[in-house]
Structure 1
Amino acid sequence: MFQEQDHVSEDEDEAASDKEDKDRKRTTTSSSSGSSDSEQRRVRTKLRRFLQRRPTLQSVKERGYIRDNVFGCHLDILCHRENNTTPRFMEKCIRTVERRGLDVDGIYRVSGNLAVIQKLRHKADHEDQLDLEDGQWEEIHVITGALKLFLRELPEPLFPFSCFDKFIAAIRQ
């Protein structure tokens, strides 16, 4: 019984200290509420002005600050943007492999250096004129690795989901 009274008194002490903390917070907020309201209004006004002056995504793209990526883009959007039936990056990779890599063993099986592949990916995403005949990309496995990465990152596979049943029916015949 004696222990229960000690326990209750500890709980009462904690409750009293919590109440004192809340009272202190109220008095400090009530005394500074006038200045905090004006501070909040000033911050809101500045934020509103900043957001209104901010350019639209379309205008930033038109100025050339933001380019749409090649990797991870839908094929139909990419082909429409490039006015072509095949993405330029794929065509360049395939031409380079046909020109320099047909005599190499394991063209699409051997992995290229991942750091160099990522560098090629970055160049493809951010530069209009990508030259795969540049000395940087002399290893054919880097080019094939980038092409495989491009195909892997397509949001929809080369054989679209909408045509899946037709492909299965064609295989069965």
Structure 2
Amino acid sequence: MNTIYDFTVKLPNGKEKSLGEYEGKPLLIVNTASKCGLTPQFKGLQNMYDKYKEQGLEILGFPCDQFNNQEFDNIEETTQFCQMNYGVTFPMFAKIDVNGENEDPLFTYLKEQKKGVLSKKIKWNFTKFLIDSKGQVVERYAPTTEPEKIEEDLIKLF
């Protein structure tokens, strides 16, 4: 695999979607959780999406329940929660694992491209990966990095 465009991910309804459909667009890929202290970041992510979607930005949310069971069991509850509480309109995908033997291959790839401070492992919800329009991983951001702090790096990709 050379770029993220080589990956296929699952939609909430279980159907598969090729990330090749996002080719040519900058992406922000985030592992999310609905019941986390960082969940209010959905507001900042949605604001960023609203501000830059006309320029091609796509934000891809991947719900994950690996950190203190902070995600709903039912993906429909997750998507409804995000829409009702934060007005999320960017794509949300099926719930995945980001670490361990069942981790999604996309996140294996992302972690190989940009390691964390001490290891590849994702430490918590809302770890973010910025991808350029060629499908290359540009940067990895800690869970506590607010979306607004990513904007400067994002603008360089347009």
Which of 1 and 2 has higher RCO (CA within 8 Å, sep 6+)?
A: 2
TM-score surpassing 0.5? no
Q: Which has the higher strand share?
A: 2
